[in-house]
């Protein structure tokens, strides 16, 4: 009996030690080369349990997929801007041929001509990836592809691949080789994809290769509270005008080999601006702390627009971000402690 109790105590200690350490992956990315998505909450959902602040680690494939008009391109643009701010280089693959170069520069994402490509076929995309040679090696470089849905094959153009079998095969073979290349170099391939409804549920074009080789897959869709961010004003004549100036989406981490999956976070996109990180951070603090007003680090407001203005006017964005990270880490710590207690009770 004494021997059995000692064995149980030893086992409990092993469980506690294993919970305190991150789960080792075959390849879980380069956390010395983390890229931000532009959203504090999405960064935390992806890898907040592995590195403070989270983000996309280098050396992996990241896929964001969902219906049209939910912010997929917006996330890719924010990733590109994050890389360039840190001195990295980006390449933009534009199969849909709809990137507005002037607009991207206005958004702070200048793309050199030699790093911009409009591939028609899957093979052309992987040819570009294999031949790309960015000058910066000590920081993260990113290849953005928007979107994979628009890529086809030579056989499809000839009408000989009705079911897309050749496209699926090309994706699978290309990704297998590319994964090794980016793992060694520490690059990130961030791509967007559409969704298709079928008899077996939701799927993405391109076969099983993309879901298999992507280390992180984020499904984005309209938020349950309503898709649009609206504002209104009244003219001098007393006429009230309403305008939609942004969208609110919900991001679900459907697959995650670098941290825990299935986390859900809201993301707000403002037209002509990008991700409104301050808005979601203020909202997160209010919901988690369960207060009636919006806490703006020493000052409180009833309305979120006034709270956002106070944060931005006083340059408190980084302080707010750190507060969100602290709250998130405290919640995660409590979940782990609860998990340990439940394991002990089962033993």
Segment 31-76, tens digit of pLDDT: 998 999 999 999 999 999 999 999 999 999 999 999 999 999 999 9
Is residue 106 over pLDDT 80? Answer: no
Mean pLDDT of the chain: 87
Name the band, by pLDDT with cuts 50, 70 and 90, for residue 330: very high
Band of the pLDDT at 254, cuts 50, 70, 90? very high
Higher-confidence residue of 164 and 141: namely: 141
Q: Which residue has the higher pLDDT, 11 or 212?
A: 212
> Is residue 79 scored above 50 in pLDDT?
yes
What is the mean predicted confidence (pLDDT) over 286-298?
Answer: 91
**Predicted pLDDT of residue 206:** 87
Q: Say what the pLDDT of residue 159 is.
A: 64
Q: What average pLDDT does the segment 21-30 reach?
A: 57
pLDDT at 17 over 80: no
Where does the pLDDT of residue 175 fall: very low under 50, low under 70, confident under 90, or very high at 90 and above? Answer: very high
Share of the chain above pLDDT 90, in %: 63
Is the confidence at residue 131, as pLDDT, over 90?
yes
- The whole-number average pLDDT for the span 168-185 is 92
**How much is the average pLDDT of 119-130?**
94
- Greater confidence (21 vs 113) lies with 113
SS3 labels along the chain: CHHHHHHHHHHHHHHHHHHHCCCCCCCCCEEEEEECCCCHHHHHHHHCCCCCCCCEEECEEEEEECCCCCCHHHHHHHHHHHHHHCCCCEEEECCCCCCCHHHHHHCCCCCCHHHEECCCEHHHHHHHHHHCCCCCCCCCCEEEECCHHHCECHHHHCCCCCCCHHHHHHHHHHHHHHHHHHHHHCCEEEEEECCEEECCEEECCCCCHHHHHCCEEEEEEECCCCCEEEEEEECCCCCEEEEEEEEEEEEEEEEECCCCCCCEEEEEEECCCEECHHHHHHHHHHHHHCCCCEECCCCEECCHHHHHHHHHHCCCHHHHHHHHHHHHHHHHHHHHHHHHHHHHHHC
Percent of the chain scoring above 70 in pLDDT: 87
Which range has the top average pLDDT, 52-61, 129-138, 205-214? 52-61
- The residue with greater pLDDT, 333 or 338, is 333
pTM assigned to the model = 0.87
pLDDT at 347: 65
pLDDT for the residue 25? 47
* Residue 280: predicted pLDDT: 97
> Per-residue confidence at 23, pLDDT binned at 50, 70, 90?
very low
pLDDT, position 2: 46
């Amino acid at each position: 009996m004494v021997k059995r109790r000692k064995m149980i105590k030893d086992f409990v200690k092993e469980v506690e030690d294993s919970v305190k350490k991150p789960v080792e992956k075959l390849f879980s990315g380069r956390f010395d080369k983390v890229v931000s998505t532009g959203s504090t909450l999405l960064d935390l959902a992806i890898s907040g349990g592995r590195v403070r602040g989270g983000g996309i680690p280098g050396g992996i494939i990241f896929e964001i997929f969902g219906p049209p008009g939910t912010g997929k391109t917006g996330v890719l643009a924010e990733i590109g801007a994050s890389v360039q701010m840190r001195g990295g280089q980006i390449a933009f693959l534009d199969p849909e041929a709809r990137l507005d170069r002037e607009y991207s520069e206005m958004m702070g994402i200048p793309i050199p001509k030699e790093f911009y490509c409009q591939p028609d076929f899957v093979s052309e995309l992987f040819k570009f990836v294999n031949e790309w040679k960015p000058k910066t090696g000590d920081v993260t470089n990113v290849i953005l592809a928007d979107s994979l849905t628009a890529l086809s094959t030579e056989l499809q153009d000839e009408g000989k691949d009705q079911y897309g079998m050749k496209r699926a095969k090309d994706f699978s073979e290309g990704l297998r080789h590319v994964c090794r290349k980016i793992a060694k170099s520490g690059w990130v391939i961030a791509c967007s994809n559409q969704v298709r409804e079928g008899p077996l549920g939701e799927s993405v074009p391109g076969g099983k290769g993309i879901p298999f080789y992507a280390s992180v897959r984020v499904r984005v869709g309209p938020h349950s509270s309503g898709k649009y961010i609206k504002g209104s004003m009244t003219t001098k004549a007393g006429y009230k005008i309403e305008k939609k100036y942004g969208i609110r989406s919900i991001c679900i981490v459907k697959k995650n080999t670098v941290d825990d999956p299935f986390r859900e976070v809201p993301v707000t996109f403002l037209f002509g601006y990008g991700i409104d990180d301050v808005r979601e951070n203020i909202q997160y603090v209010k919901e988690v702390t369960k207060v009636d007003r919006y806490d703006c680090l020493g000052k409180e407001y009833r309305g979120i627009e006034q709270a956002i203005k106070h944060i931005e006017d006083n340059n408190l964005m980084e302080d707010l971000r750190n507060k969100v990270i602290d709250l998130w880490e405290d919640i995660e710590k409590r979940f782990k402690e609860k998990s340990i207690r439940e394991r002990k009770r089962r033993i």
